[in-house]
């Protein structure tokens, strides 16, 4: 049984991850930023422990990992960096604050959590870290410059940490979802969705559960010889 910490666990892919790990019998804590009602609903459904945390704040991350360690009766053995935000608009119109908000959450937040969690993993000579990227980090998305850049950054974070932490028995991998039926993508109009589906060889929109299966695979103890890998869960869109 693992002790699992998941960021952004109150909805969408994050909530599916909480359900997947809890169903497997693991002890799960998850971070959420503001939606207390959604977090409490996921906690009631799964028995997981909700912890409020703005991961763009390194002090808050330090406190949240300490709380997770206490409530899980031990430090996390699995860390899933799922929390993310986006900003849609022309890059020339993007303000400094809008840029920083995306970067601070998507990339810095993941780094802060990796930094906090790895100490106990190194001491135990075991750990699993999975970063949730995006196919836009591989191929880029027009009018989503900050999101694409930060998700590309997660690729570098993944491969660099895999090399750094591998000798300590820690694997670091990345899952890159494509078009997934989540709240973030529900803003897309029907015409845009249809066009994206048409470009997807699997001919459908993915589900949060599709992503969860890939994360479970990377998090398994049997996946000890798999690290630094980036797995697209995109129905072939980014081929």
pLDDT tens profile 91-135 = 999 999 999 999 999 999 999 999 999 999 999 999 999 999 999
- pLDDT tens column, 37-46: 999 999 999 9
112 part of the active site: no
Q: What does residue 142 show for φ and ψ, rounded to 5 degrees?
A: -60, 135
CA torsion through residues 187, 136, 146, 31, sign = positive
What pLDDT does residue 183 have? Answer: 77
- How many Cβ atoms from other residues are within 10 Å of residue 87's Cβ? 16
**Topology, domain 3-180+209-232:** Rossmann fold (3.40.50)
State phi, psi for 187 to the nearest 5 degrees. Answer: -75, -15
* Distance, C-alpha 123 to centroid of its chain: 24
Q: Which two tokens stand for residue 184?
A: 């973030």
> Exactly one of 32, 112, 126, 147 is catalytic; which is it?
147
Output the six-digit token pair for 147.
């999101």
Taking phi first (over 0 means left), then psi (-120 to 50 degrees means alpha), and beta for anything else, what does residue 235 get?
A: left
Q: What is the pTM of this model?
A: 0.96
- The Cα-based distances of 220 to 85, 145, 169 in angstroms read 27, 33, 13
How far is the C-alpha of 100 from the C-alpha of 194, rounded, in Å? 32
Do 6 and 17 meet the contact criterion of CB atoms below 8 Å apart? Answer: yes
pLDDT (tens digit per residue) in 189-239 = 889 889 999 999 999 999 999 999 999 999 999 999 999 999 999 999 999
What is the pLDDT at residue 101? 98
SS3 7: strand
């Amino acid at each position: 049984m693992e002790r699992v910490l998941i960021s952004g666990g109150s909805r969408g892919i994050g909530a599916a991850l909480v359900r997947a790990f809890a169903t497997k019998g693991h002890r799960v804590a998850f971070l959420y930023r503001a939606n207390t009602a959604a977090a409490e609903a996921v906690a009631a459904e799964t028995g997981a422990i909700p912890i409020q945390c703005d991961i763009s704040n390194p002090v808050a991350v330090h406190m949240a990992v300490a709380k997770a360690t206490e409530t899980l009766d031990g430090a996390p053995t699995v860390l899933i960096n799922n929390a993310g935000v986006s900003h849609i608009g022309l890059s020339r119109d993007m303000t400094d604050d809008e840029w920083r908000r995306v970067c601070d959450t998507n990339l810095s937040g993941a780094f802060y959590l990796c930094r906090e969690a790895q100490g106990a993993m190194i001491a135990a000579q075991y750990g699993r870290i999975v970063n949730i990227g995006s196919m836009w980090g591989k191929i880029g998305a027009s009018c989503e410059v900050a999101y694409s850049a930060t998700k590309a950054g997660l690729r570098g974070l993944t491969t660099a940490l895999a090399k750094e932490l591998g000798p300590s028995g820690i694997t670091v991998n990345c899952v890159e979802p494509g078009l997934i039926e989540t709240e973030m993508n529900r803003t897309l109009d029907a015409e845009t969705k249809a066009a994206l589906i048409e470009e997807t060889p699997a001919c459908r929109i993915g589900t949060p559960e599709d992503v969860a299966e890939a994360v479970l695979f990377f998090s398994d103890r049997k996946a000890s010889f798999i690290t630094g890998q980036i797995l697209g869960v995109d129905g072939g869109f980014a081929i």
